[in-house]
């Protein structure tokens, strides 16, 4: 089966092909996508990492605040340390923090004494080995 095209038909086809390659409509969007996508990918990665880091810090800070509140509302040091450890252990598990380092610093001895300042500092490392450290301070009631 042979196709025979006349000279005028060949010229029409050639003109259409020429118009396709010469026409610049839509080229800006193609150029933008070729240049912008490689620039936006690192931005998206950075935003995702920042979001993850902020979320980890926020949940750890909430855990520190809750544990120091429970600490200062306890009746004695033995109960206070036990309650704070339990809150950090259980809350850390629920919030997805596996290994939390705890430091409890008191301004008085015993810690549960009137107007004593209690600081709890929590340190956690994520699976990407990013260190997050937060602290919370509360004061024991002056009537304790």
pTM, rounded to two decimals: 0.72
Please choose, from the candidates 122, 130, 63, the residue with its C-alpha nearest in 3D space to the C-alpha of residue 91. 63
How much is the pLDDT for 72? Answer: 95
Q: How far from chain centre, in Å, is Cα 97?
A: 13
Tell me the C-alpha distance between 83 and 70, whole Å.
7
> Where in the chain are the domains?
26-139
Tell me the C-alpha distance between 31 and 92, whole Å.
48
How much is the pLDDT for 68? Answer: 97
How much is the pLDDT for 2? Answer: 67
Q: What is the pLDDT of residues 20-76, one digit of tens each?
A: 777 677 777 878 888 888 888 999 999 998 998 899 899 999 999 999 999 999 999
Q: What is the pLDDT of residues 69-122, one digit of tens each?
A: 999 999 999 999 999 999 999 999 998 888 899 999 999 999 999 999 999 999
- Helical packing angle, 77-95 and 27-72, nearest 10°: 160
Phi, psi of 111 (to 5 degrees): -60, -40
């Amino acid at each position: 089966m042979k196709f025979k095209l006349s000279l005028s038909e060949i010229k029409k086809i050639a003109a259409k092909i020429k118009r396709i390659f010469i026409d610049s409509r839509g080229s800006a969007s193609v150029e933008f996508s070729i240049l912008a996508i490689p620039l936006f990918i690192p931005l998206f990665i950075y935003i995702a990492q920042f979001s993850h880091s902020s979320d980890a810090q926020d949940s750890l800070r909430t855990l520190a605040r809750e544990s120091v509140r429970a600490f200062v509302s306890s009746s004695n040091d033995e109960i206070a340390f036990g309650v704070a450890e339990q809150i950090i252990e259980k809350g850390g598990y629920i919030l997805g923090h596996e290994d939390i380092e705890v430091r409890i610093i008191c301004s008085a001895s015993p810690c549960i004494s009137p107007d004593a300042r209690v600081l709890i500092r929590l340190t956690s490392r994520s699976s990407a080995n990013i260190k997050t450290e937060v602290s919370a301070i509360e004061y024991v009631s002056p009537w304790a």
